[in-house]
Amino acid sequence: MAKSQSNPRFHARGRSRGVGGAEEGFALSGRIWVEKEGETFLGWGRVVLLERIREHGSINAAARSMGMGYRHAWDLVDMMNRLSPKPLVRKVTGGRRGGGSTLTAEGTAALENFWALVDDFRAFLRGRDARIWRKRRKPRAKA
Amino acid sequence: MAKSQSNPRFHARGRSRGVGGAEEGFALSGRIWVEKEGETFLGWGRVVLLERIREHGSINAAARSMGMGYRHAWDLVDMMNRLSPKPLVRKVTGGRRGGGSTLTAEGTAALENFWALVDDFRAFLRGRDARIWRKRRKPRAKA
């Protein structure tokens, strides 16, 4: 899954239209996340954790694959499940390795919806001029 | 200037359309900033610092008004001036208090453009459904 490998800080270059030299190299960057009543519910790190849980079938293995402490991973999963109307991760019992964890339908939807938001956000960043010091022709209305 | 008083983390509520109860309270949040070749050039804190410099006519007084160390403020101004094609802040000599600092035309443009970007970003956040766990009717294309 290529997306989970990439850097949590992402940006889209604010390429100038026909302007080069000293004005190149500027980029608008940003981050987005979802809050529930002021608490972080879902951001980049948690979404990657969900992806890894889906991939590895286990919270501990998912944490290990990210270099994250498993206690921290369990706390994050617990928090996501608590804040969500329906849990995003559930335990599975039995199977070859005697149980583990998997995503619920809501967890899978959360992944897909988050990446769709990120795609939209990238388009937003890309569509705007990062040359912030430039005077605009059209002045902003005072009212 | 009301904007400089508000919280650096801002969000727009992802109000559901006719769905209430447990699904309320979710909001999409985010931050944006401008980078120059990987270095932060201008973000929320620096923009507020520029506003305060314009207001107080002095980097030291601006820093004091924000509870920011003046050495840190000078470093930030230095960095902004260095990364920008033209300086955003310049020294003024003479005057009632024997000199200080003020914004250049580019500094003023940077302020206005940043707040315009923030307005756009708020509209972006507000326009999207923060109920991230919801399954969509329309599946995303595999290709």
Query: What ipTM score was computed for the predicted complex, to two decimals?
Result: 0.77
Q: How crowded is residue B26: how many other Cβ atoms within 10 Å of its Cβ? A: 25
Q: Name every chain A residue with its beta carbon within 8 A of the beta carbon of B135.
A: 105-106, 109
For residues B2 and B45, is the Cβ–Cβ distance under 8 A? no
Rg (CA), chain B: 20
A74 or B143, which is more confident?
A74
Supply the pLDDT for residue A25: 87
Distance between B80 CA and the closest CA of chain A, angstroms: 11
Distance between B120 CA and the closest CA of chain A, angstroms: 9
B128 touches A: beta carbon within 8 Å: yes
Q: State whether A31 and B30 contact (CB < 8 Å).
A: yes
- H and E: helices and strands count for chain B: 5, 5
Q: State whether B135 and A26 contact (CB < 8 Å).
A: no
Q: How far separated are the first and last CA of chain A, in Å rounded?
A: 48
- Give the mean pLDDT of chain B: 83
Strands (E), B39-127: 39-42, 89-92, 100-103
If you average pLDDT over residues B14-25, what whole number do you get? Answer: 43
B30 or A7, which is more confident?
B30
Supply the pLDDT for residue B136: 78
B18 phi, psi to nearest 5 deg = 80, 10
CA B62, CA B52: separation in Å to the nearest integer?
5
A33 phi, psi to nearest 5 deg = -155, 170
The alpha carbon of residue B26 and the mean position of all alpha carbons in its chain are separated, in whole angstroms, by 23
Distance between B63 CA and the closest CA of chain A, angstroms: 22
Q: Which tens digits make up the pLDDT trace of B37-92?
A: 889 999 999 999 999 999 999 999 999 999 999 999 999 999 999 999 999 999 99
A33 touches B: beta carbon within 8 Å: yes
| Cβ within 8 Å of residue A94, ≥6 positions away | none
Q: In the structure encoding, which two tokens stand for residue B33, read together?
A: 């900033």
Q: Name every chain B residue with its beta carbon within 8 A of the beta carbon of A23.
A: 85
Q: State whether B110 and A121 contact (CB < 8 Å).
A: no
Q: Name every chain B residue with its beta carbon within 8 A of the beta carbon of A133.
A: 84-86, 88, 106-107, 109-110, 113
* Band of residue B97 on the pLDDT scale cut at 50, 70, 90: low
Q: Which of the residue ranges A23-27, A108-112, A116-120 would you say has the lowest mean pLDDT?
A: A23-27
Q: Smallest Cα–Cα separation from A125: which of A10, A40, A48?
A: A10
Count A/B contacts: CB-CB distance under 8 Å: 127
User: What share of chain B in percent tops pLDDT 90?
Assistant: 69
Q: In the structure encoding, which two tokens stand for residue A92, read together?
A: 């599975």
A97 or B85, which is more confident?
B85
CA B48, CA B66: separation in Å to the nearest integer?
9
CA triplet A54, A58, A59: central angle to 5 degrees? 95
* Band of residue B133 on the pLDDT scale cut at 50, 70, 90: very high
